[in-house]
Chains A and B, each alone.
Chain A
Amino acid sequence: ETGVTQTPRHLVMGMTNKKSLKCEQHLGHNAMYWYKQSAKKPLELMFVYNFKEQTENNSVPSRFSPECPNSSHLFLHLHTLQPEDSALYLCASSQDIGRYNSPLHFGNGTRLTVT
């Protein structure tokens, strides 16, 4: 049990579908993150939320739409994706974003395949 739970673990969707990824943390953290991990590439930060407010959008295409209803839940809404969006999407949380010694806690990720 990592304290950060992501669902679903695997998702296959067509380019015209709409789906959502869910992340939930039970650690009492205030900051939550979405990362994308493509094969043979470093993790890429997509979005950062701190106290439910989006603080960073790392030039992510609008077909990815995040939502953070409260500090414990984070969603990533997906629509009209492209095959190159196939990747592992990882959620993480930390106590806050301002302190360098606030370690990240990761979920197990959602393996997304766009057909």
Chain B
Amino acid sequence: KNEVEQSPQNLTAQEGEFITINCSYSVGISALHWLQQHPGGGIVSLFMLSSGKKKHGRLIATINIQEKHSSLHITASHPRDSAVYICAVARETSGSRLTFGEGTQLTVNP
């Protein structure tokens, strides 16, 4: 069993829908990251959080440290949001080295 589990693995939505991607982890962490990977391969950091909630544009990330769970929400989804979304955690003893989930493939249809 992976230390970082994401669900769902694949998600298809219609433009405008509200989207939620979930991440559960089983180790003590210093921070949790949400990353976005487009088909070209490059990975972009969306959020880094260790408590509460962060918002950037249409993206919202929340974390519940007690439950070891985080969610990434996308409001008013758009086809350009189609990408792989990856959850990764910085373990308490690992500094900036990350443990990654398998990713969620999101496809938003027009």
* Residues of A participating in the B interface, judged by any CB pair closer than 8 Å: 2, 31, 33, 40-43, 45, 48, 56, 88, 90, 92, 94-109, 111
Contact = CB atoms under 8 A, between A and B. Distances in A.
Nearest to B9: A40
B41 A48 contact: no
Shortest beta-carbon contacts, A-B, top 6:
A100-B30, A109-B41, A108-B42, A106-B43, A42-B100, A100-B90
A48 B43 contact: no
B102 A104 contact: no
A52 to B, nearest CB: 17
Measured as residues with beta carbon below 8 angstroms from the partner, the interface class of chain B is 20 to 34
Interface of B: 2, 4, 30-31, 33, 35, 40-45, 48, 50, 86, 88, 90, 92, 94-103
B100 A106 contact: no
B44 A99 contact: no
A77 to B, nearest CB: 21
Contact of B95 (A40, A100, A105): A100
B95 A98 contact: yes
SS class of chain A's interface: helix, strand, loop or mixed? loop
A42 B41 contact: no
Residue in B50, B86, B95, B96 whose Cβ sees the most chain A Cβ within 10 Å? B96
A48 to B, nearest CB: 7
B31 A56 contact: no
Given A100-B31, A105-B45, A106-B43, A42 B103 contact: yes
